[in-house]
Structure 1
Amino acid sequence: MTMKQDAAPADFDTLQAWLPRLREGDAALPRLSPRALALLESLVAEPEQVGVSTISQLAERHRANASMLTRLSQALGFSGFKAFQALFRRDLTGSTFYSTRAERLLDFGETPAAEPGAFPDQALWQQEMANLSAAVSGLDAACLERAVERIRSARRVHVVGLRASYGAAHYLAYYLDYLRRDVQLVSSRAGVTVEQALHLDAGDLVIGIAFRPETRISVDYCRLAVEQGAGLIALTNHARSQLARLTDCTLTAPAEGPFFFNPMSSLFLLVELLLSRLAREMGSEAVAAIRRREALIARLTIE
């Protein structure tokens, strides 16, 4: 196995796309022996197993040895097997996603240590600050502008985000309703089904929120809406997510760190950026809309 390229594949989809090129001996990629290529193909065929197993377990399962797995990882551009395995773990979906993350943090010692003298959980805070900084530095300004314009001009806006993403979806829909009419929060608790997207057309907009592992109903709702001609804005923690592939306007909220579940700070930051930019673009119209809502709240004595 010889090294031919500088960078390892950035995600599992890219690694999968490499396989046919590796078989053809693409000069831009590493040159693998037949045995190493067969091993890689076996690993890619069962990503969840690779994500949850130790190097010894995988070596035994594939009748190889640990050193061969390490050499394969390095030939692909990774620093070692752990870095190679992390790519599979990031793409885990379904019932093992969170348990795998917990195992990584507890059993594999991947919880980063805080700086000397810091309180024990400061590492989590430090990573969340990094997520917030990454969200801002990686923000697609053109996409944000398109998103705001689409929200302003759409006849109706549906906001969908279920399970862990529901909190952000509710927050966004609630305050969008202060600024414009015909905003609906799509919620399975209210008996809303995917079929409701059939009522949408080219004059409508869906804002879809889904973090990996993506909720199938959310993705299906957005896909059906797009098929009906509606616009779509995606908020996700992975630029190559299923949701992102449905639209030309994706806002990415990095969600890395020593947390058992999906960190959400950067997602709420993006939601706040959307609302703030929309209100600024609307100007006095936004102020008037908010005052109408406040007057209604006061009249109904809602606390």
Structure 2
Amino acid sequence: MSKGYQAIALYLTQNPNDVAVRSVNALGERCGMHASNLVRFAQALGYTGFKDLQAVFQKRLSTAAPGFEARVKALEGELGSRKDRSEYGFLRDLVVRDVASLQALLTDIAPDDLARAAELLDGAEAVYLLGQLRSAPVVDLLRYLLTMLGKRCVLLDPSGGLATHMARSMGGKDVLVAVSFRFYATEVVNIVERTAEAGRAIIALTDSTLSPLAKNAEVLFAVPEHEYTFSRSLAAPMCLAQALTVALAARLQNNARDPRIPTVTGQ
């Protein structure tokens, strides 16, 4: 796709409820494109016009959970709309949007995917962790939690330019957990592609089914990133990373009722 069509596709996949109910002019304005570009995009996919493409999203909406913006509006109604521009107001804005993102995990993440990811982590001889730039805190958390569970893990640290070379040491029973969001780190994308070519299992945590990580992932967790006024949050990806390790702990400890992750001080 052209860059313009990529931008449209990204908006449609990350805002499906808006696509179902808004006019083509309103959607064009929101994704920074002229309405005629959306019509041509739909035709390029084989639809007679945008309304035919929109019907797909409308059908989905009849059974879908509320979208991100609907959750935000509901929370703002519950907590009160923001009327100040103080430092505390910034905190409130972030909390409202983070709560909405966390709620979305319960509808966007498939139980079977969580179970399959936990199974892969459980059976892996070593778990390789890959994430750079804004994704780095997520893999740092995973390294800490996996280490506390006694699971051998290797952080593909970009320092020294050795991440690509370290990834080549992955064995046939190892698993790669890759985390990347727009704009995707080039080295991360390249390592994922080479790891897939080598036949290794990949668990990907990213922002869209259109992410370059998606096509090579055995398990894909797509956590959409919504526009924040002044920041993009890692609350949902961090929560998902914790859920994966707790699910792994339940398997390792044969304790689905009350799995525990040890701490450094506890040990």
Report the TM-score when normalising by structure 1: 0.59
SS in structure 1 opposite 2:194?
helix
CA shift digits 1:162-189 (9 cap, x unpaired): 1111111111011101213320111112
Q: Does structure 1 residue 166 correspond to structure 2 residue 136?
A: yes
Distance in 1, matches of 2:250 and 2:102, equals 22
Mapping of 1:156-235 within 5 angstroms? 156-189=126-159, 191-235=161-205
Match of 1:133 in 2: 103
Distance in 2, matches of 1:255 and 1:139, equals 14
* Alpha-carbon distance change, 288 to 223 in structure 1, aligned in 2, over 3 angstroms: same
Matching residue's letter, 2:205: L
Match of 2:30 in 1: 83
SS in structure 2 opposite 1:187?
coil
Matching residue's letter, 1:263: S
Match of 1:280 in 2: 250
Match of 1:37 in 2: none
SS in structure 2 opposite 1:85?
coil
Matching residue's letter, 2:30: A
Contact 1:257–1:263 under 8 Å retained in 2 = no
Distance in 1, matches of 2:101 and 2:245, equals 20
CA shift digits 1:18-64 (9 cap, x unpaired): xxxxxxxxxxxxxxxxxxxxxxx8x838969xx9xxxxxxxxxxxxx
Matching residue's letter, 2:138: A
Shift of 1:280: 1.4
* Alpha-carbon distance change, 126 to 191 in structure 1, aligned in 2, over 3 angstroms: same
- Return 5+ residue gaps in structure 1 as ranges: 1-15, 17-40, 52-72, 89-111, 298-303
* Alpha-carbon distance change, 181 to 47 in structure 1, aligned in 2, over 3 angstroms: closer
Match of 1:154 in 2: 124
CA shift digits 1:94-143 (9 cap, x unpaired): xxxxxxxxxxxxxxxxxx99643655333332111111111222111111
* Alpha-carbon distance change, 125 to 144 in structure 1, aligned in 2, over 3 angstroms: same
- Return 5+ residue gaps in structure 2 as ranges: 12-21, 38-71
Contact 2:7–2:31 under 8 Å retained in 1 = no
Match of 1:143 in 2: 113
Distance in 2, matches of 1:205 and 1:252, equals 18
Contact 1:175–1:275 under 8 Å retained in 2 = yes
Distance in 2, matches of 1:222 and 1:46, equals 21
Contact 1:135–1:254 under 8 Å retained in 2 = no
Q: Does structure 1 residue 116 correspond to structure 2 residue 86?
A: no
* Alpha-carbon distance change, 214 to 269 in structure 1, aligned in 2, over 3 angstroms: same
Match of 2:222 in 1: 252
Shift of 1:78: 4.8
Match of 1:44 in 2: 4
Matching residue's letter, 1:44: G
1:266 paired residue among 236, 244, 250: 236
Distance in 2, matches of 1:46 and 1:241, equals 11
Report the TM-score when normalising by structure 2: 0.66
1:240 paired residue among 198, 204, 210: 210
Mapping of 1:61-76 within 5 angstroms? none
* Alpha-carbon distance change, 189 to 259 in structure 1, aligned in 2, over 3 angstroms: farther
